[in-house]
Structure 1
């Protein structure tokens, strides 16, 4: 049952656990001495075999090592068991606290023994020694007992047989449970260790998978960029060089070359936009809206209302002519935020605001849901939002709102003069 766990060595106790053991050991010793005084007061084992000072010594020798039970479980179990037998041989009247200390040491050896195989052997040896001693004790004491000492006995067993059987059964029961619970505690610690190791491995695997996904996406984008854009950029370079050479001699040819540069630039931008949209959307349903921009936000608002949300929407400031790629990126931010609110947030209201500031375009989507950042199949998710915003040198803020809900706010640099020109 435990073979697959035996190679693990349990780490030692923490400083706090060691301090706790010192308190427990002192308590065992203190109550043991008190119980010894009480036993002597009622005359238990008053045969005079051992003096009071010796009885104190045996009691301390059994109970005090519990203070080091988790630091040295092997040694403590051996010392306590031998001292327990010695105390019984010398007829020390205190048997209750010392017996408890013995079982505590046995349990601790099973639960905290650094080498589990060795702790099994030691516990087995201690239990065997205890039963051997029990047999010797009965052989020494029971012959001195006469039937007259049991006046009124009426059970099915003889008094002597009943005493022997009771001692054997009680010790089997106590030692068996001590051994069993020590094993259970050790296995629980081993499984906790395994869970921690698996959790660390899972986190490392997830981080590695994310890194591989990002690298793979970068390689794919770089390959597509080269295939789609490199040709147009090369043509632009050739035409710009030609325009520079003929600018002073033939203005017509220079204008033609510059017009070709302009057209190539627009074509490259359009193809780049379409390529990035396809990379992001794959074959999902959003492929049909690859060229959608902020002029389609009303459709998103309508879909949110159809989903049962109370929607507040508004456009603030003086609208500006936006580059198509920027308009599409802003639209995708709103689309992803609205989609996440509908699918994951459990919200009842959503507020969509588009602000044209002096030098920024701000897109702000807020809801009153439980703050989910999840994305459905084919969605961008928070990582995709950040990549879209970063591609336009913008800033994305996403997180919970004070009082509940979630907000996504993206700010894009807006160069009105450049756009107008």
Structure 2
């Protein structure tokens, strides 16, 4: 409560509604103080001595509670004015002191609870309380001089009467000002904690909004990657087959029909994969097992090569090591890498005759390599959607990706996926 971090916090000022409540409370306290003055004058209870004129009594009575109108707006000024007016009324022996002392209590409490600078408000409160005890000591000295010899004639207790009166007054004032200081400090701490909770709630709300936004972006990226992998591969194969069909359409109708059949099959396969992907997206978490069963995996790589063979390439698949069941996500990522590599070969390379795909099951990882013997028609685009999708898939599983020309000619795509300990141990 006294650390630098907490003291540096500045409590926001009162709201318009709180200012209106202060106005009503200050006016009500002033009216009650005037009523208390009337009762004190009517009973003739002039405990502080002969009172001043009627007008001066009214002015001092008003001067003490009226500044409470601005108690939360200007807490420091209110506390200083109320305490000075209270001492002035005591000096002038104004008979009204019951409501005035509670106005002083409210001013000290408000300074502790609403002071914008907590260090300064603490010093001001200590100064005001010290001034009150100084005035109390002065009042005791003045009262002692005016005591008559028979003032304590009826005293029967074991404590000397003068000492008993002083201890009683000091004890009452310690409790009075102590509670005013303590309650003000407690209210300020409660307001600071409420502010911290509100700030934490706002930070949590922003964090949740950012998490939702990142989830949406991630889902969009995943959908875009899946669409690219599904559509680009089959469209590329259909483009190659359509070009072959166009070249042999008049010379060799049989080959043209074969190419058209391949185009039809590729189109159906593309539609089936699009439907599967849309089914996965719509299923969400409701049918995860069924969605995963429909996903393409590394065991279906040969189907990709079959389409490459239909396009006129000599495609070979080699599997090295003991095949090990892979996690579904790793298996699908490996399949998509092969699919994208074959698609890039069909789209961007010329003179390709041989396409070689090798899958190696190692102790702690699985390696997939796709090579060809063609010539690239343009440099690899690092920002192309295909390469970006491959990098994202590999990075998701903590793998490594190598893409580039081979020393003896052609192109190589190599990716390594680390395997979980249980899978690697089985391999």
Secondary structure at the aligned position of 1:36 is classed as: helix
TM-score normalised to the size of structure 2? Answer: 0.63
CA distance in 2, matches of 1:206, 1:138: 64
Deviation at 1:290, TM superposition (A): 4.6
CA distance in 1, matches of 2:145, 2:50: 21
1:69 to 71, 95, 98: 71
Q: Provide the residue aligned with 1:237 in structure 2.
A: 239
CA distance in 2, matches of 1:55, 1:158: 35
Contact 1:150 1:159 in 2 (8 A): yes
- Cα shift readout 1:88-118 (whole Å, capped 9, x = no counterpart): 0000000001001000001011111111111
Deviation at 1:150, TM superposition (A): 2.6
Deviation at 1:161, TM superposition (A): 1.0
Q: Provide the residue aligned with 1:96 in structure 2.
A: 98
What is the RMSD computed on CA atoms of the aligned residues?
2.6
CA distance in 2, matches of 1:169, 1:233: 94
- Cα shift readout 1:178-229 (whole Å, capped 9, x = no counterpart): 1011011111111111111111111111111121222223333433443444
Q: Provide the residue aligned with 1:180 in structure 2.
A: 182
Q: Provide the residue aligned with 2:11 in structure 1.
A: 10
CA distance in 1, matches of 2:285, 2:227: 19
- Cα shift readout 1:332-371 (whole Å, capped 9, x = no counterpart): xxxxxxxxxxxxxxxxxxxxxxxxxxxxxxxxxxxxxxxx
Contact 1:22 1:68 in 2 (8 A): yes
Contact 1:277 1:287 in 2 (8 A): no
Q: Provide the residue aligned with 2:120 in structure 1.
A: 118
Q: Provide the residue aligned with 1:259 in structure 2.
A: 261
Contact 2:279 2:291 in 1 (8 A): no
CA distance in 2, matches of 1:131, 1:214: 66
Tell me whether 1:36 sits opposite 2:37 in the alignment. Answer: yes
Residue 289 and residue 228 in structure 1: after superposition, are their counterparts in 2 closer, same or farther (change >3 A)?
closer
- Cα shift readout 1:14-51 (whole Å, capped 9, x = no counterpart): 11111111110101110101110110111122854411
Contact 2:280 2:291 in 1 (8 A): no
1:268 to 261, 267, 270: 270
1:1-400 matches, cutoff 5 A: 1-3=1-3, 4-45=5-46, 47-243=49-245, 252-274=254-276, 286-288=288-290, 290=292
CA distance in 1, matches of 2:170, 2:252: 118
CA distance in 1, matches of 2:61, 2:27: 12
| Gapped regions of structure 2 (runs ≥ 5) | 295-427
Contact 1:78 1:126 in 2 (8 A): yes
Deviation at 1:255, TM superposition (A): 3.2
Deviation at 1:286, TM superposition (A): 3.2
CA distance in 2, matches of 1:258, 1:124: 96
CA distance in 1, matches of 2:158, 2:213: 77
Contact 2:108 2:180 in 1 (8 A): yes
Residue 283 and residue 125 in structure 1: after superposition, are their counterparts in 2 closer, same or farther (change >3 A)?
closer
Residue 213 and residue 64 in structure 1: after superposition, are their counterparts in 2 closer, same or farther (change >3 A)?
same
Worse-superposed segment, 4-13 or 225-234 = 225-234
CA distance in 2, matches of 1:245, 1:23: 96
Contact 1:274 1:290 in 2 (8 A): no
Residue 110 and residue 283 in structure 1: after superposition, are their counterparts in 2 closer, same or farther (change >3 A)?
closer
The number of residues matched between the two structures is 292
Contact 2:82 2:103 in 1 (8 A): yes
Worse-superposed segment, 270-279 or 8-17 = 270-279
Larger radius of gyration: 2
Q: Provide the residue aligned with 1:397 in structure 2.
A: none
Contact 1:62 1:101 in 2 (8 A): yes
CA distance in 1, matches of 2:98, 2:180: 16
